Structure 1
Amino acid sequence: MKKKYDNEFLINESISYPQIRLINSTGEQIGIYSSNEALNLALQEGLDLVLISDKSQPPVCKIIDYGKYKFSQEKKAKEAKKKQHNTILKEVKMRYKIEEHDYKVRINQALRFLQAGDKVKATIILKGREIQHTNLAIELLKKMAIDLKDNSTIQQTPTKDGRNITMILNPNKKL
């Protein structure tokens, strides 16, 4: 009774250690056996012999239904992937001569991004002769950092990047 599976785990005949520690289908440790004896016990139960850990001495094998085991492992991996959040860098652009209402809109936008767990890159665009007023743009970014200090920390202080001045904010860790 030879079953074919992919090579994700060593199973049945592919396990070739002289001695293995065996766990039965109910989860009880039943002792140390040779690979052939353990395989015979698994086949008598109509199940598979699966290598669980080859790091221990002797390696640990378990008698289980490999198809069900693989399905449960895939299901756990999918659940873990669903729960993880990839941090994305979102950008908020503005000019240094921004009106108060527009500034508040940008602050609310940045706040929404930070609360979603994303980083925020605040960019001030300088056009033409505005390049002479970089100090005003840096002051505006510092004001923005102060306004968002409850929800963020500064990852990168305001820096000049060509005709843009940028600052990156990290969301605060949720406790």
Structure 2
Amino acid sequence: MLGVMNTRDAQQLADDKNLDLVKVSPNAKPPVCKILDYGKFRYEEIQRLKEAKKNQKAVVIKEIRMSVRVEEHDINVKIKNCIKFLEQGSRVKVAIRFRGREMAYTEQGKQVLLDFAERVSDIAVIEKSPKIEGRNMVMYLAPKKDK
């Protein structure tokens, strides 16, 4: 800590030590500077950013589509795929597409989605309950958190 000093004096001090004068916090009043090796400073900053990026996890949403008149075997296949996605840690969007006059049977579609959620309830929780979006009814499932 050298305290508040003139810019020229600080630059001269840095030059004497064969180092750089780096503004660490340029928006502060007065600006905060450090005398250090700028190449090493940049390298450490990049390494810190890489480490932070490595620890981030992107949320992946997989989608499963069905119709109102889905058969039992088809539901079983979709459940198997849903379980695989949930075990990978992805969220799953389960959608029922209403075609033509099927819009009159939205209650049946809701029942199919709730039945689907019931079958995967041992590893999934309903994140967003069934809701109509245009000609589709959508429900989101998320993997259960084991504690």
Sort the TM-score into its range (normalised by shorter chain).
0.7 to 0.9
Distance in structure 1 (CA, Å) of the matches to 2:125 and 2:15: 59
What is the Cα deviation at residue 72 of structure 1? Answer: 1.8
TM-score (norm 1): 0.66
- Say which of 134, 137, 145 aligns to 1:165: 137
> Which has a greater percent of helix?
2
TM-score, structure 2 length as denominator? Answer: 0.76
Deviation, 1:92, is 0.2
Percent identity at matched positions?
Answer: 35
User: What is the CA-CA distance between 1:140 and the residue it aligns to?
Assistant: 1.1
Deviating beyond 6 angstroms after TM superposition, the runs of 4 or more aligned structure 1 residues are none
Structure 2 runs not aligned, ≥5 long: none
What amino acid is aligned across from residue 76 of structure 1 in structure 2?
Answer: R
Contact 2:95 2:139 in 1 (8 A): yes
Instruction: Tell me: CA distance 1:138–1:34, structure 2 relative to 1, closer, same or farther (3 Å).
Output: same
What code does the residue aligned with 1:82 have?
Answer: K
SS of the residue 1:98 aligns to? coil
Query: Which of 97, 100, 115 is the aligned partner of 1:125?
Result: 97
Answer whether contact 1:124 1:166 (CA < 8 A) is retained: yes
SS of residue paired to 1:108: helix
1:153 paired residue number: 126
* SS of residue paired to 2:68: coil
Structure 1 counterpart of 2:30: 58
What is the identity, as a one-letter code, of the residue corresponding to 1:136? Q
Structure 2 residue aligned with 1:85: 57
Q: Is the 8 A contact 2:126 2:139 kept in 1?
A: no
Give, in whole Å, the separation in 2 of the partners of 1:53 and 1:94.
55
Amino acid paired to 2:26: D
Structure 1 unaligned blocks of 5 or more: 1-28
Residues 128 and 157 (structure 1 numbering): CA distance in 2 closer, same or farther, change over 3 Å? closer
How far did residue 111 of structure 1 move? Answer: 3.3
TM superposition shift of 1:54: 3.0
Note closer, same or farther for the CA distance 1:137–1:83 as it changes in structure 2 (3 Å cut): same
Does the CA-based 8 Å contact 1:145-1:154 persist in structure 2? no
Change (3 A) 1:53 1:107: same
